[in-house]
Structure 1
């Protein structure tokens, strides 16, 4: 995952956790606007989420943040 996407994912996870608590879930779509204006980046996130880590559609933001921060 490229550094810019990694930073964006961590920031979004942190914001969701701060707003809704540590049990909040999210999908990789949370990292993007409602329109597909960055298809390559969206596919990169989808590949990381689905193929690399085999995550469910919704996962705890804390889990996702930890994976991203660890560089996994």
Structure 2
């Protein structure tokens, strides 16, 4: 996963946790605007979320942040 995407995911997770607390859940759509202006990036996240890790539609932001932090 590219560095800019990892940083965006971590930033969004931090923001959601700050706003709604440690138990906040989110989907991979949380990292994108409501319109599909970067389909390759959306697919990259969807592949990581769905195919690679077989995550549910909604997951805890804390869990996603930890997973992304573990990536090299």
TM-score, normalised with respect to structure 1: 0.97
Please give the residue correspondences for 1:1-72 in structure 2 after superposition, counting only pairs within 5 Å: 1-71=1-71
Aligned residue pairs total 72
CA drift of 1:35 comes to: 0.1
**Within 2, Cα distance between the matches of 1:2 and 1:28?**
16
Q: Which runs of 4+ in 1 moved over 4 A?
A: none
CA drift of 1:60 comes to: 0.2
Please give the secondary structure, in 2, of the residue aligned with 1:37.
Answer: coil
* Uncovered stretches (5+) of structure 2, i.e. residues with no partner: none
* Uncovered stretches (5+) of structure 1, i.e. residues with no partner: none
CA drift of 1:39 comes to: 0.2
